[in-house]
């Protein structure tokens, strides 16, 4: 029997990945994956952009590139991020193979085995997996409608064995769908200052807002540039162009960047040049802005359809958020409910979602579930939600 490392022994398969086989079945309506709709990808636009490239650009797309990213994409992405107010010139930008790699690189940079790491509860499963792979002790901090609980976070920070980092997803949170308030972010900043705890600010969904009045709330903590906090900002092309590109980025202070570049170099040498060339062309053409604006409206339409169906079919004892952007709605059931039982029954009826314990750092709390509306038409949503609601009523009464 091979003798695996302790780090590998701690890994477990993501329930979301395990559900992907089910999601591909034509008889199943999947609310499980956070996948953009295939029919929404800018296929024709990208084809035209590629045809317009000169031969040297096309040749570069097939070649190895620098570990930090192709200079042309670093330049165009810097402009894209500066429009959000991010302090690009005061930090360093690193292209990663999806934002999942950014989380993995940062985890490797900071975490030694058994060290405590603070995460939201519930938390993005990809972050939990990355931190577990370096044998972190995960400490979940509850969230409410305004963001991470400041009282609970304060108690964690005051513990004798201080946490190595804090990870948050403040903008249309995965899985809880919430959007941090300005006040909660300010409280978070004040609490972290002087603690020497780095903040990983994961921002995969902020461009997919539904309401213009939320723009001020969407200003990243990184853009606020708070004194005394090392903010590591991560983002991705997965939700605003296509996950198949496998491109993300991190914007980090210079003193952190050097280690991250070395870690990435040892992992994959460089991210795909081919898709970097395509992403660069898409940004420079200006089409990224019109494309994101169009898919934003489509996701709003799908979210509205799910909200309408939930209002019609859910029993009164289920609590849930009305999304203001992003991909997800989070349902909270009575304490004794078992979302896995409900999921099993829903699958029999022809619909699937993700049970809440998947996003619990301890893997235990299971009276909640995540519904994703991004990959379904309003008609599919209207057909699938009654199946989920029926399964909830059947199990919970």
Tell me whether residue 348 is exposed, middle or buried, using C-beta atoms within 10 angstroms of its C-beta: 0 to 12, 13 to 18, 19 or more.
exposed
88 and 34 part of one domain: no
Residue span of the structural domain in which 100 resides: 63-286
The answer to whether residue 53 sits within a structural domain is no
pLDDT at 15: 62
336: domain CATH number is: 3.90.1150.10
Q: Is the pLDDT of residue 300 over 80?
A: yes
More confident residue, 327 or 27: 327
The answer to whether residue 15 sits within a structural domain is yes
The residue length of the chain stands at 397
Q: Is the pLDDT of residue 226 over 90?
A: yes
Q: Taking Cα atoms as reference points, which of 211, 213, 248, 216 lies closest to residue 232?
A: 248
Indicate the residue among 264, 286, 308 that finishes a domain: 286
The answer to whether residue 310 sits within a structural domain is yes
10 and 148 part of one domain: no
222 and 309 part of one domain: no
pLDDT in tens, 111-121: 999 999 999 99
For 207-219, b/e burial (b = at least 16 CB within 10 A) is bbbbeeeeeebbb
Q: Is the pLDDT of residue 142 over 70?
A: yes
Q: Is the pLDDT of residue 165 over 90?
A: yes
Residue 111 to residues 50, 122, 137, 222, 245, Cα–Cα distance (Å)? 41, 21, 10, 22, 28
Q: How far apart are CA 12 and CA 353, in angstroms?
A: 19
94 and 171 part of one domain: yes
Q: Is the pLDDT of residue 262 over 80?
A: yes
pLDDT in tens, 5-53: 777 766 666 666 566 666 667 789 999 989 999 999 999 999 999 999 9
Q: To the nearest whole percent, how much of the chain has pLDDT over 70?
A: 96
216 and 307 part of one domain: no
pLDDT in tens, 51-81: 999 999 999 999 999 999 999 999 999 999 9
140 and 75 part of one domain: yes
Domain count of the chain? 2
- HEC assignment per residue over the chain: CCCCCHHHHCCCCCHHHHHHHHHCCCCCEECCCCCCCHHHCCHHHHHHHHHHCCHHHHHHHCCCCCCCCCHHHHHHHHHHHHCCCCCHHHCEEEEECHHHHHHHHHHHHHCCCCCEEEEEECCCHHHHHHHHCCCCEEEEEEEECCEECHHHHHHHHCCCCCCCCEEECCECCCCCCCECCHHHHHHHHHHHCCCCCCEEEECCCHHHECCHHHCCCCCCHHHHCCCCCCEEEEEECCCCCCHHHCCEEEEECHHHHHHHHHHHHHHHCCCCHHHHHHHHHHHHCCHHHHHHHHHHHHHHHHHHHHHHHHHHHCCCCCEECCCCECCEEEEECCCCCCHHHHHHHHHHHCEECEEHHHHCCCCCCCCEEEEECCCCCHHHHHHHHHHHHHHHHHHHC
252: domain CATH number is: 3.40.640.10
75 and 148 part of one domain: yes
Give the residues across from 138 on adjacent strands. Answer: 117
126 and 244 part of one domain: yes
pLDDT at 12: 66
The answer to whether residue 339 sits within a structural domain is yes
188 and 199 part of one domain: yes
Indicate the residue among 286, 320, 344 that finishes a domain: 286
pLDDT band at residue 1 under the 50/70/90 scheme: confident
250 and 345 part of one domain: no
Indicate the residue among 233, 260, 286 that finishes a domain: 286
């Amino acid at each position: 029997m091979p003798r695996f490392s302790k780090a590998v022994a701690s890994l477990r398969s993501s329930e979301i990945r395990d559900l992907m086989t089910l999601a591909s079945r034509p008889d199943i309506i999947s609310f499980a994956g956070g996948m953009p709709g295939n029919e929404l990808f800018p296929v024709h636009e990208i084809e035209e952009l590629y045809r317009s490239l000169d031969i040297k650009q096309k040749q570069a797309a097939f070649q190895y590139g620098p570990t930090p990213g192709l200079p042309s994409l670093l330049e165009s992405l810097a402009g894209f991020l500066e429009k959000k107010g991010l302090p690009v010139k005061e930090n360093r930008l690193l292209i990663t193979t999806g934002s999942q790699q950014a989380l993995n690189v940062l985890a490797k940079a900071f975490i030694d085995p058994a060290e405590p790491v603070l995460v939201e509860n519930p938390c993005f499963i990809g972050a939990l997996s990355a931190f577990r792979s370096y044998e972190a002790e995960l400490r979940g901090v509850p969230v409410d409608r305004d963001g991470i609980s400041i009282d609970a976070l304060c108690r964690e920070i005051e513990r004798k064995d201080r946490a190595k980092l804090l990870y948050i997803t403040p903008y249309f949170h995965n899985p809880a769908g919430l959007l941090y308030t300005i006040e909660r972010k300010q409280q978070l900043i004040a609490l972290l200052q002087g603690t020497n705890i780095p903040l990983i600010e994961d921002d995969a969904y902020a461009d997919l807002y539904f309401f213009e009045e939320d723009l001020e709330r969407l200003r990243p903590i990184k853009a606020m540039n708070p004194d005394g906090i090392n903010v590591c900002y991560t983002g991705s092309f997965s939700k605003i162009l296509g996950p198949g590109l496998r491109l993300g980025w991190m914007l980090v202070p210079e003193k952190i960047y050097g280690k991250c570049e070395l870690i990435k170099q040892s992992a994959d040498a460089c991210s795909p040049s081919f898709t970097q060339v395509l992403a660069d062309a898409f940004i420079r053409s200006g089409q990224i802005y019109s494309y994101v604006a169009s898919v934003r409206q489509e996701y709003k339409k799908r979210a509205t359809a799910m909200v309408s169906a939930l209002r019609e079919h859910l029993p009164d004892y289920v609590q849930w958020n009305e999304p203001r952007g992003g991909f997800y709605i989070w349902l909270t059931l009575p304490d004794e409910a078992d979302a896995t039982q409900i999921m099993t029954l829903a699958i029999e009826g022809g619909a699937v979602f993700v049970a809440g314990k998947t996003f619990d750092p301890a893997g235990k709390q299971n009276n909640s579930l995540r519904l994703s509306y991004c990959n379904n038409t309003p008609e599919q949503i209207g057909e699938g939600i009654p199946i989920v609601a029926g399964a909830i009523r059947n199990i919970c009464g």
